[in-house]
Chain A
Amino acid sequence: GNSVTQMEGPVTLSEEAFLTINCTYTATGYPSLFWYVQYPGEGLQLLLKATKADDKGSNKGFEATYRKETTSFHLEKGSVQVSDSAVYFCALRIIQGAQKLVFGQGTRLTINP
């Protein structure tokens, strides 16, 4: 089946630290990969996406590269800010069939000043 596994949270970092949130996936087809972010009290927002192997998605200083050989889509940011505190979800979407999003369990990130 199709599934996404994220690194366990919560993750707590100091401002300006380097961030990595690991994400690996299992898919029966050729998925598109996504990172969504959920800020406190708000709905899910698309952060970045990649639709094929070796694509790099980027937004707001965050990056993730679609690695087919390791079935991974790790989220990175070189210097985090307090405003990056949120819950981050990795997700995949299969091209065939109903094309629904399958989410990981989420990783709560807290950035301390």
Chain B
Amino acid sequence: EAGVAQSPRYKIIEKRQSVAFWCNPISGHATLYWYQQILGQGPKLLIQFQNNGVVDDSQLPKDRFSAERLKGVDSTLKIQPAKLEDSAVYLCASSPGAEPGREQYFGPGTRLTVT
């Protein structure tokens, strides 16, 4: 079974530029998550989708971050404009459903450096 795919793996941009990350979850997984992991910290949930609907985006900085999952499969996370403090690893995860006992499967992440 293929795992969660993310691209690109690395990205370097200047502040005020825009960037987009892509995630392809495990086939059949209804729930998709985007996390931000700043160096030395644990991952923090940015947004959770159930199929193509948003379940939780309470920690997403909506003035600069946006995410979509139009067909309930792939997802993109965009930052516009980027700030220095956005430098982090962006992790995508998926699970078959949102029940508490369901395991979340994580992709390898995209490491973003904002200069």
Q: Determine whether the beta carbon of B101 is less than 8 Å from that of A46.
A: no
Minimum CB distance partner of B98 in chain A: A99
Question: A83 an interface residue at 8 Å Cβ cutoff?
Answer: no
CB contact between B43 and one of A32, A45, A93, A103 (< 8 Å): that residue: A103
The count of chain A contact residues (Cβ–Cβ below 8 Å) is 25
Q: Which residues of B contact A32 (CB under 8 A)?
A: 100-101
Q: Closest Cβ of chain B: how far from A10's Cβ, in Å?
A: 11
Q: By the criterion CB–CB under 8 Å, are B55 and A98 in contact?
A: yes
Check B106–A105 contact: CB distance below 8 A. no
Given contacts A43-B91, A43-B108, A100-B48, contact A51 B41 (CB under 8 A): no
A residues at B contact (CB < 8 Å): 4, 32, 36, 41-46, 49, 51, 89, 91, 93-95, 98-106
Interface residues of B (CB under 8 A from A): 3-4, 33, 40-45, 48, 55-56, 58, 91, 93, 98-101, 103-104, 106-109
Q: How far apart are A13's CB and chain B's nearest CB, in angstroms?
A: 21
- Asked if residues A98 and B41 are in contact (CB atoms below 8 Å), the reply is no
- Contact between chains at B42 and A105 (CB < 8 Å): yes
Which of chain A's residues have a CB closer than 8 A to the CB of B103? 46, 49
How distant is B18 from chain A, measured CB to nearest CB, in Å?
25
Contact of B48 among A36, A98, A103, A104 (CB under 8 A): A98
In angstroms, Cα B34 to Cα A88, docked, is 19
Task: Return B13 CB to nearest CB of chain A, in Å.
Answer: 22
Interchain CA distance A32-B43 in the complex, whole Å: 17
Are A43 and B42 CB-contacts (below 8 A) given A93-B100, A100-B56?
no
Q: Which residue of B lies closest to A104 (CB)?
A: B42
Chain A positions within 8 Å of B108 at CB level: 41-43
Q: Would you list 25 pairs from A and B whose C-beta atoms are within 8 A, ordered by A residue?
A: A32-B101, A36-B106, A43-B3, A43-B106, A43-B109, A44-B93, A46-B103, A46-B104, A49-B101, A51-B101, A91-B42, A95-B100, A98-B55, A98-B56, A98-B58, A99-B98, A99-B100, A100-B33, A100-B48, A101-B33, A101-B43, A101-B104, A103-B42, A103-B43, A106-B40
Question: In the complex, A44→B41 CA distance in Å?
Answer: 13
